[in-house]
Each structure stands twice: as structure tokens, then as C-alpha cells.
Amino acid sequence: MKLGVLHLSDIHFRRENDPARKYCECIAKACYQTAHQSDEFVIVVTGDIAFGGQAIEYQYASEFLASISSKLQTETGKKINVFLAPGNHDCALIPEDEIRTLTINKIIETQGKDLSQALIDKCTEAQFEYIKFEEKIRLLEPVFEDRLWKEFELPVGGGILRISSINAAWMSTLHESAGQLVFPIQNYAEHLEAPCSLRLALIHHPLNWYCQSTYHPMRRALKTHCNAILSGHEHSIGSEIVSDLNGSTLILEAPALQPHESNLEPQFNCLLFETENKIVYENRYKATEHMPLPVEQEREHSFDTNGKCTRLNKINPDFLKLLMDPGGNFTHPVRGALSAEEIFVYPQLEENDSEVAKKLSLLTKFVLTGKLVKRF
């Protein structure tokens, strides 16, 4: 399988004269070579398509993506699928919905315990215009969808591509902080485990934005089942390979195509996944009104496909509970009961007020001074 991907993020469409509206030809030109090398070429946008979740902003986005798709289709003769994941700017947060804010504060306080569909529905009301836009722009219907997850399946080059679009921004606020987002990843294990040749996860917020109760299971689930995780939000470009017993996972963070910061340039990525050779080619470009400008030389990343996309044997829940038992009643004022993976003990931690420590201290003094110190 050879899959070409145009990876865009953080476009922040707001006004009719936004510079990004003039980048269509430049972006398409940057992708022509990869598109010709691919069995399938797709466009991926990992959030913050709009600036404030407004209908007119998505009209600009629709024209922008349609223009790029049209140019690529004319060049290759193939239809171009578009896959999206929402970001915090894809929520209409002004004026503030006070009931939504109270709902989110409660979810943060409890770290998602007893998370109901009614709470999810309330929080995702702010994404109404994004939801309409996503349904309009896609060519391929998902094999599964709800308010927080869309699962797509596409035959590519004799294999099966699975794309999991994750709505991490469902509880975003105007002034959100890292370490607070909640996501019920356990509800979507069945879709992550579906057999495929290549699986990509699309998510706006990188993993450091999730609360403790979400971070560990989210990280474990995505790293276990996804060959690559494509994200945005940070406005900084980056790529790394994370390896563990489940193999390696490639993490690709896209730069902002239309950053707020004056010191950042508009950039985007073009990727080529080759599953047979287990290589991803990454090309980074600066966007202009005319020709794409390479930011650096092409990068090559190796990635693992062995057993990554197959249905894995599950650990018995009772045995997993035993493994996660910290051996004591450890609690957190917000999280409640803590599991072993949520507790960190500093390697040099000592119980200095114990009887053993006191006896060792006396012995040390005797060895150094030759005098027996009497305890009172």
C-alpha cells in the first residue's frame, strides 16, 4: 500500500481576505509528485479549521478544500477524500453558554466519572456548524460515527486503510489548560481493534492535554493499535517514533497553516506511507501565494505494521485489576482511588523517621567518631 497524505492543521479561517485562501495552488503543487506515487491520496485536517466555529468561516474552508481537491483530481484523475478532526477553535464559544461551562467544570472535577450521553450532547452543541461542514465535505461515509468518534475504512492498494477521527475538542473552552481534557477511549476499543493494513488516528490535542484518568488509557490504546497519530494544536512542527512492547508508533504534529503568532510562518506537510517498505516520507513546506518552499530536506521515518492492526488478545479484567493494584489505599482529592500506573515513587525516596533509619544513623555516627551516642 502506498498512501499519500496532505496534512493540514490550524487554518483558523476567519475573514474573506485571510492569506490562507490564496495558498490553494501552492499546496496542490507541493502534493503532485506524492499523489502520482500513491495508490490513494487523501487530505487530512487535524483541527482548528475555523477561528470561531461560525458558518461563514466554514464556507471559506469549503471553498479552500474544494479548490485543492479539484486541482489534485485534475492532476491524478482520482477522487480525493477529505478527513477532518475538530479543534478547540471549531467550537462556537462566544457568547458563553453558561450551562455548558458548568457541565464542563463538573466533568473536569470528576475526571469523566459517570459521563453520560446527555453531557456529551450538551458539550458538542458548540460544534454544530463544524458537524454540518464535516458531513458536507466528506465523500466517504464512516462505518461508525457518534459525537466523539468517526471511523472510516477505505481499500487502498490491496490493503485496508482505517482512519479514526477523534473529537478531542468536545469539551474545549475559551481558556483551557493542559491536563484537563477527558475522553472515554474505552468506548471505542472495538473500532480500534478492527483488522486493517494501516491505521491513522486524527486528533487535534496532543496527549499532554488530557487529564490523568484519560492520559494513560488513551496513550496505551492509540499506541497499541495505530501506526501513526496525526495531530495539531501546538502550532509547532514535529515528528517522533515511540516504541514499546506493542511495536512503534509514529507521531506527527502538523504546523499551523495560518498561525496567530507573528514569528511563525505558514507551513504544511505532505506524507507518503509505504507499508511494504515500512517507511513514511515526510516533506515540510512553507506556503506562499505561488510556489511551495521546502523547509528542509525530505525526512524518512520507519514504522511498524507487524501485528499493529490486528485484533489483539485482551488481558482478563480481573488480572488487569490485580496488576493495577497499588497495594495500598491511595487516593487523590479529585481523581479518587489511584491505580499503580498513576503513582510515581521517586527512586531515592527514604523513610527517614523510621526506627531502621534512626539505628543506621546512630551506627554511622559510631563508625565515624568511635563514640557511642546515647539516645534520650
Q: In the prediction, which pLDDT does 3 show?
A: 97
CA–CA dist 227, 309 (Å, integer): 8
Q: In the prediction, which pLDDT does 358 show?
A: 61
Reading the block at residue 330, the C-alpha cell is: 491511595
Over 60: is that where the pLDDT of 103 sits? yes
CA–CA dist 236, 199 (Å, integer): 23
Q: Strand pairing partners for 281? A: 272, 300
Q: E strands, the chain, where?
A: 2-8, 40-46, 81-85, 144-145, 149-156, 159-166, 198-202, 228-231, 238-244, 247-253, 267-274, 279-286, 293-294, 299-302, 331-332, 336-337
Q: Which of 131-135, 185-189, 237-241 shows the lowest mean pLDDT across its residues? A: 237-241
Q: In the prediction, which pLDDT does 312 show?
A: 47
Residue 194: what residue type?
A
Domain extents in the chain = 2-311, 319-369
How sure is the predictor about 212, in pLDDT bands with cuts at 50, 70 and 90?
A: confident
Over 70: is that where the pLDDT of 25 sits? yes
Q: In the prediction, which pLDDT does 229 show?
A: 95
pLDDT digits (tens, 9 = 90+) for 305-357: 766 655 445 555 567 667 778 877 787 765 567 777 777 666 666 555 556 65
Report the percentage of the chain scoring pLDDT > 90: 68
- Give the pTM: 0.83
Average pLDDT, stretch 198-226? 91
Report DSSP letters for 332-359, one per residue.
ETTTEE--GGG----TT---TTSHHHHH
Report the percentage of the chain scoring pLDDT > 70: 85
How sure is the predictor about 376, in pLDDT bands with cuts at 50, 70 and 90?
A: very low
Q: Which of 19-28, 269-278, 280-289, 295-304 shows the lowest mean pLDDT across its residues? A: 295-304
Cβ-based neighbours of 303, under 8 Å, separated by 6 or more:
227, 228, 241, 248, 249, 250, 273, 278, 279, 280
Q: What is the CATH number of domain 2-311?
A: 3.60.21.10
Cα-based distances in Å from 124 to 131, 145, 149: 9, 14, 12
Average pLDDT, stretch 167-195? 93
Over 90: is that where the pLDDT of 50 sits? yes
Average pLDDT, stretch 103-132? 94
Over 60: is that where the pLDDT of 123 sits? yes
Over 70: is that where the pLDDT of 191 sits? yes
pLDDT digits (tens, 9 = 90+) for 246-278: 678 899 999 999 998 888 999 999 999 999 999
